[in-house]
Structure 1
Amino acid sequence: MIKKLLFLALLGSSAQSGLGQDLAYNIEKINTTIRVDGVLDEPIWQQVDVAGDFNQYFPNDSSKANSRTEIRLMYDDQFLYFSAKMYNQAEDRDYVVPSLRRDFRGNQIDGISLIFDTFQDKTNAFHFGVNSFGVQREGLIAGGFGGTSWSWDNKWYAEARQYPGYWVAEGAIPFKSIRFKEGKDQWNVNFYRLDSEAGERSTWQKVPRNYDIKSLAFTGILQWDQPLKKPGSNISLIPYTAAEVTRDYEDGEQSKPASNMSIGGDAKIAIGSGLNLDLTVNPDFSQVEVDRQVTNLDRFELFFPERRQFFLENADLFGNFGHPFYVRTFFSRRIGIINDTINDVTRPNKILYGARLSGKLDNNWRMGLLNMQTESINDINLPGFNYSVATLQRKVFARSNAGVIFSNKQSFDAQNDNPDFDPDHFNRVLGFDYNLASADNKWIGKAMYQRSWDSSDSDSEEYAHMAWLAYRGRNWRLEWAHTLVGENFNAEIGFVPRNGLFRIENTLARNFYPKRGPVNFHEIQVVLETLWGDTESTNQTVKSDQLVAIDENIQFQNTSRLRASLKRRYTYLFDTFDPTNTEGQELPADSDYTYHFLWMRYDSDQRRTLTYSIVGQVGEYFNGNRYRIGGDISYRIQPFAAFNINLNYNRLSMPEPYTSADLILIGSRIDFTMTKKLFLTSFLQYNTQAENFNINTRIQWRFKPASDLFIVYTDNYATMDMNQEFGLQEKNRALVLKLTYWLNL
């Protein structure tokens, strides 16, 4: 049966890639100066072709859009220009905007987006957007399914103006800010609009609503009037200077303020028209926001996404190998951050230098090379490590690809006083991936195999394997997956939370599209997931985990959403485990538990200035019970301020002699956007599980495109004293000033 499904999937992949490309836009070169101000007063705008007649995507996808949209494009030697005119259904109305901060998110806003698949591979694209207040966002689409990384940043220009009955966006995208093949005269393209007044989402090229609105399987053609030329030399220098004052109060009487000043920078150099060389010397990532704290009731490591700019362009070439949750060959957050096992803390590990070459060789081939060197840490005798990664990817059939990755972590330092340090230590991984995406987007899947080598004595079960296949029709969705992680598989530059794992997951879902009433869409899903592992005491393979779930997902016409899940979970403990993760009484090893619970979440209409979500869970938990209530509430004074408070309360009631616990996580975010260039964000987070109270405040002044001044203040307090009584005690504090300037040569 599986072989038959794979054959059908491959057959679908080999179909013509032109599916859905029945629209085309002819773009012409101009010799007129365009002023990007949101005022379409240049006569040339009325002389070029119009991309209009948009198709409705939400709430239905069987009719034309109710709100009219017009897109116009033209170009010169340096810029791709666009204008968008969005008509409203009412003469006078209010526009929804979360804030004036760049990279806005969500479907509740008023915005226009442009997607450019410059190599026409239907798997990678550039995504540019503008909302009704002229706020910009840019991102990278990778994999072809529509997922966008909004962390990518680059130089381009846009403005918007509001008029009675419509609003206008106007923009200029430098050819130097995107990658494309010199000599091509066609790109794939699509445009989509979000209209909060009508609660409507619409696209130029029709996209079925059961797929992501950004899916690259459904694009039109952007036809250039002549083959594109290379836009000249493309070199960017991004120097920075940073000053930092810190104090660690946990050092006791020895605690004194420490100051540090650093200078470094990055360079981005275009190699041809498809490759980019990133260089960094003494990089600094102090402007990155702190991770939101979470209540961790899992037995394994949590995954937090990468936000550092150096790693983001073509990040999928490195980070998408393997399984997203169980086996990642490369996880960039392993570089520059280490677990200090001596002091039991996570701390930064300075990166001395790095280089990354990545991008397109031609329409079918992509490649990536990375090398970085970290500094040794003398107080814990940690050597400096060299990190190297090489990847090569080949497009096959219409939208699928196959790739290989090799990673190496190795120290070249001489033996030091650390008895745990082996000067000959190394860790290497070789992996192969096949990513399936059929031309019509109905079949997607993945197969991978990886093998690791290191300086340990292990010579068996150093492998990982997975296969996943999914059919996504309009009414039915079926998925099948299995994952196998060997007991000794080791990817030190990757993310492998669990070894000795064999997992099978099956999913069956039915979609419904009511034609009347408040419900726009609902889905019923059944999931069966089973994991096996080997016990240490008997070395026998046993069922370690199993999940049986019935899920309901309801989308309402007003954009609110309700999700519910009834779950049955089985857990076998190979090791002792405290289910509260508070260092309490542990459940014994080689014991098993079956427990049932109900989980629900409701998200309100996100177009309102006051929005909220509610999360609840009730039922059994290991040998006790768990009761959870949480959610968040947000209020916008648009477009200048947004206030958010989130709460997560877990009551874990365990029988004697095991530990019961009340776990509370409270966080708040205050976001002031005084202008489109000046922002202030403040986080307050209180976590009883971690016994920590955190304050993080960041001021950002974007004085020029992609050039910023940051002022960051962070403060951490312990919330329990030696007698386990509540009281704030200072742990550490930091004040950082950083100036970054983006210079194009």
Structure 2
Amino acid sequence: MTGAIPLALILSAVSFNSGQAIQAHYTEVRPVIDGILEDLWQNADSATGFIQQTPDNGNPATESTTVYLLYDQENIYVAFRCLVHDLTTVHDRLSEEPDGVQVVIDPFDDNTTGYSFTVGFNGVESDCRITADGGMTENWDGVWWSAVRKYDWGYGVEMLIPFKSLRYPRGKHDWRIDFGRFVIGRAECSFWSKHEITGFKVSRMGRLTGINPPARRLGLEVYPVGLVRQEKSGNYKTGWRDEVRAEAGLDLAYSPTPGGNLQLTVLPDFAQIEADPYQVNLSRYELWLSERRPFFVEAVETFGGSQQPVKVFYSRRIGKPLPDGRAVPIITGVKWTERAGRTQYGFLGTLTGECETEPQSYYSIFAARHRLLTNSELGAIYAGKDNRAFSNHGLGLDVILRSDRLHGRIFTAGSQFGESLDYALSLDGGYESENFAGGLTLRQIQPEFNMNGTGYTTWRGQYGSFYAGPVFYNRSLFRLAMISPGVEIQREWDYPPGTATATGFINSSARFKNQYYLSLWGGYGQDWALSRLYRYSYTGFYFASDYTRPVTITGYTNYYTRTANYRRGQIAPVFQAEINIQARLGDRWKLWLGDDVTVEADSLSRINIRQDLTSVLRPGVEHSFNARA
């Protein structure tokens, strides 16, 4: 116990917040969202004195920005007055990355999550949910409005954010908020609150005081779905068969409490979701695929998502694809998430239909997270899958500790798969500052641990990695540079005694003051694969030109002298390369050309080349061409 007391005192003593505050003033007159900054905004409190995060961390922003905030019983209104010394330097075309502004709101004052709203000076809007104190973002499609207008002194931006698009606690009148501005020509990112060069943190945002949002209404949304599908199957020898069938479904969303949300889906169809990008997989493990289906994306941080060190729950298991290309049908699903004070919790239940070798199955997931101290967390997750053939259940517990520059996580999980019981343990830690960065990861996954019914378990064994190195900020040609030597050791339980995968590596990256970027890496080690112990080395680089220019080029190469190719069942050299060229065509059009090449040798030492050529003209047409030689 004596060792834990100083750590708790240190973490609780850290004061993250910037001390900035803005008062929310109520307005009887609703501002017109057209980019014209009318006199009404003079009734609002204002935020000024933006501070650079990059490139010159801690210095005043090079351009003056003033933000005004009002609210009424339906909406939050935000206006930006962005002065510009030279309007010819502004990036505001649809065909380029624009200058713009950002608002981040944390209604729960939890120092870990927030809603982000960004508007470019070209009028393009984007939004997302920020989680893990700025460490992660998730897709979010909120309903809100904005307008931009150009003046001889700069730009005016107005936003309307409905309260009904946000979740917020009842009776809480102090929220967290921050405002940002981006000047692309200087690669400048500035905020109202001071943020470290290492990244944006929710825990450093300022305060929004005196806001009195309305009591949340029931928020019932019902979306009936009707589809007519035509499918053609067969081949030239057996003939073709056309099948036409009608399908119907239902999606429902209901918010009975300020922090609660209920979602129901019946016979969902995700055909409109963008397909997963093509990836070459030479390993013996399946690829991790990010979630894109709206029903599962909402509140993904409650259920862990990709942040789990040992993945007890992997939502892509539900309705998973089969070898013939079809997906297991989802009959129905229900999800409930709730936030109350420092605690958030959720339940997810789905029923999938029978399809070939996959019997009808029921999935159940429970998760809860409780905030400790300022922005640390205690969490638990349960996931289960049951059908007539087998059952798979798992329970995970974790503690996340965060301070200004230090972070650590302990995660342990147990699994039941059929008759087998086993456990997994994970320890992560890291340190980041403007002069030094390092990290440590330790994992032990026992031989019978298996969460592939509901989660994602690939290898089983022991793993450790460590890296540490200097960080150079605003030195010579570099805006930010890092050198990170380290070691990585892994031993799986099916390895022969005395064998392990061991690698020494060095990674480096640099953002130059002219906006170019270069990353170099290399390593040497040994690996056990395909019943062989072999030595290998690897090297590669990633390059990106100045993204503010009309034409930008990015390139990537990676070469292994020897590596295991499980697709061909051999150990051989592999070379991968990719080049992308992006060009602006006027104010609205953008041309993107890409070439991705993989070169590998087969068992007869013949060279095999796979090439993927892609061209995209936006807004407009996408074309791809695949070739093998």
TM over 0.5: yes
Q: Does 1:669 align with 2:628?
A: no
Q: How does 1:342-361 map to 2 (within 5 A)?
A: 344-361=323-340
| Number of the residue aligned with 2:567 | none
Give the C-alpha shift of residue 594 in structure 1: 1.1
The one-letter code of the counterpart of 1:551 is N
SS at match of 1:233: coil
Corresponding position: 1:136 with 2:125: yes
For residues 484 and 175 of structure 1, the distance between their equivalents in structure 2, rounded to whole angstroms, comes to 45
Contact 2:334/2:350, CA 8 A, preserved across alignment:
yes
Q: In structure 1, what is the Cα distance between the partners aligned to 2:7 and 2:515?
A: 33
Give structure 2 stretches of 5+ with no counterpart: 564-570
Equivalent residue, structure 2, for 1:675: none
Residue 241 of structure 1 and its aligned partner are, at CA, apart by: 3.0
- Quick one: which of 365, 383, 386 aligns to 2:359? 383
One of 298, 309, 324 as aligned partner of 2:294: 309
Query: Aligned in 2, Cα 1:450/1:131: closer, same or farther, shift over 3 Å?
Result: same
Contact 2:383 2:454 in 1 (8 A): no
Q: CA deviation at 1:545?
A: 1.8
Structure 2 residue identity aligned to 1:393: R
* Aligned twin of 1:12: 10
SS at match of 1:338: coil
Give the TM-score normalised by the residue count of structure 2: 0.93
Does structure 2 retain, via aligned residues, the 8 Å contact 1:464–1:485?
yes
CA RMSD of aligned residues (A): 2.4
Give the equivalent residue in structure 2 for 1:32.
29
What letter corresponds to residue 79 of structure 2 in structure 1?
Answer: S
Deviations 1:3-42 (A, max 9, x none): 97x87654432225x423311001111110222121223x
Matched, 1:78 2:74: yes
* Counterpart residue number, 1:168: 156
Structure 1 gaps, min length 5: 101-107, 412-422, 577-588, 673-679, 689-725, 727-745
Native 8 Å contact 1:9 1:443 kept in 2? no
> Residues of 2 paired with 1:329 and 1:683: CA distance?
38
Please give the residue correspondences for 1:332-351 in structure 2 after superposition, counting only pairs within 5 Å.
Answer: 332-339=315-322, 344-351=323-330
Q: 2:248 aligns with which of 234, 251, 263?
A: 263
The one-letter code of the counterpart of 1:684 is S
2:33 is equivalent to residue 55 of structure 1: no
State the match for 2:595 in structure 1: 647
Tell me, in whole angstroms, the C-alpha distance in 2 between the residues paired with 1:388 and 1:426.
Answer: 12
Q: CA deviation at 1:183?
A: 0.7
For 2:133 and 2:318, locate their aligned partners in 1 and report how far apart those are by CA, in whole Å: 28
Specify the alignment match of 2:479 in structure 1: 520
* Residue 400 (structure 1) aligned with residue 376 (structure 2): yes
- Distance in 2 between the 1:230 and 1:181 partners? 9
| Equivalenced residues, count | 621
- C-alpha displacement of 1:306: 0.7
1:316 partner SS: helix
Question: In the superposition, relative to structure 1, how do residues 510 and 634 fare at CA in structure 2: closer, same or farther (>3 Å)?
Answer: same
Equivalent residue of 2:255, what SS? strand
Q: Distance in 2 between matches of 1:429 and 1:687?
A: 43
> Where does residue 594 of structure 1 map in the other structure?
535
The aligned residue for residue 521 of structure 2 is 565
Per-residue deviation, 1:250? 4.9
- CA distance in structure 2 between the aligned counterparts of 1:510 and 1:532, rounded to whole angstroms: 29
Structure 2 residue corresponding to 1:684, chosen from 617, 621, 624: 624
User: Using the alignment, how far apart are the partners of 1:669 and 1:488 within structure 2?
Assistant: 47
Look up the match of 1:223: 209
Which string of whole-angstrom CA distances, capped at 9 and with x for unpartnered residues, describes residues 93-144 of structure 1? 45245659xxxxxxx5312111111111111111111111222111111111
Choose the corresponding residue for 2:470, options 510, 515, 521.
Answer: 510
Task: Determine if contact 1:114/1:192 at 8 Å carries over to the other structure.
Answer: yes
Q: Which amino acid aligns with 1:216?
A: V
1:667 Cα deviation (Å)? 2.9
AA of the residue aligned to 2:36: V
CA 1:425–1:535: 2 relative to 1, 3 Å: closer
1:26–1:477: structure 2 CA closer, same or farther, 3 Å change rule? same
Contact 2:66–2:81 (8 Å) recurs in 1: yes
3-state SS, counterpart of residue 504 of structure 1: strand
Could you say which residue in structure 2 is the equivalent of 1:545? 501
- The offset of 1:370, in angstroms, is 0.5
Selected match of 1:124 from 109, 113, 127: 113
Matching residue's letter, 1:91: L
- CA distance 1:92–1:634, shift in 2 (3 Å): closer
The residue that corresponds to 1:365 in the other structure is: 343
Which residue of the partner structure matches residue 477 of structure 1? 437
TM-score (norm 1): 0.79
Q: C-alpha distance in 1, partners of 2:608/2:170?
A: 62
Aligned to 1:695: none
- Alignment partner of 1:609 is 2:550: yes
User: Please, which of 396, 410, 419 is the counterpart of residue 431 of structure 1?
Assistant: 396
Higher relative contact order, chain-length normalized (CA < 8 Å, sep 6+): 1
Q: Secondary structure at the match of 2:227?
A: strand
- The separation in 1 between residues aligned to 2:325 and 2:469, in whole angstroms, is 41
* 3-state secondary structure, aligned to 1:360: strand
Kept after mapping to 2: 8 A contact 1:359/1:366: yes
Per-residue deviation, residues 596-652 of structure 1 (Å, max 9, x unmatched): 122111011111232111112345123543333322112233653333222222322
Whole-angstrom CA distance in 1 between matches of 2:191 and 2:135: 14
Distance (Å, rounded) in 1 between the aligned partners of 2:475 and 2:94: 30
Shift of residue 531, structure 1, vs aligned partner: 0.3
1:317-328 alignment runs, 5 A limit: 317-320=302-305, 323-324=308-309, 327-328=310-311
Q: Tell me, yes or no, if the aligned pair for 1:323 and 1:466 is still in contact at 8 Å.
A: no
Query: Could you say what secondary structure the match of 2:76 adopts?
Result: strand
Determine if contact 1:37/1:158 at 8 Å carries over to the other structure.
Answer: yes
How big is the shift at 1:535?
A: 2.8
Instruction: State the alpha-carbon separation in 2 of the partners of residues 563 and 532 from structure 1.
Output: 28
Deviation at 1:559, TM superposition (A): 2.5
Distance 1:624 1:409, change over 3 A: closer
**Alpha-carbon distance change, 11 to 669 in structure 1, aligned in 2, over 3 angstroms:** farther
Report if the CA contact (8 A) 2:74-2:214 is conserved: no
CA contact (8 A) 2:472 2:478 kept: no
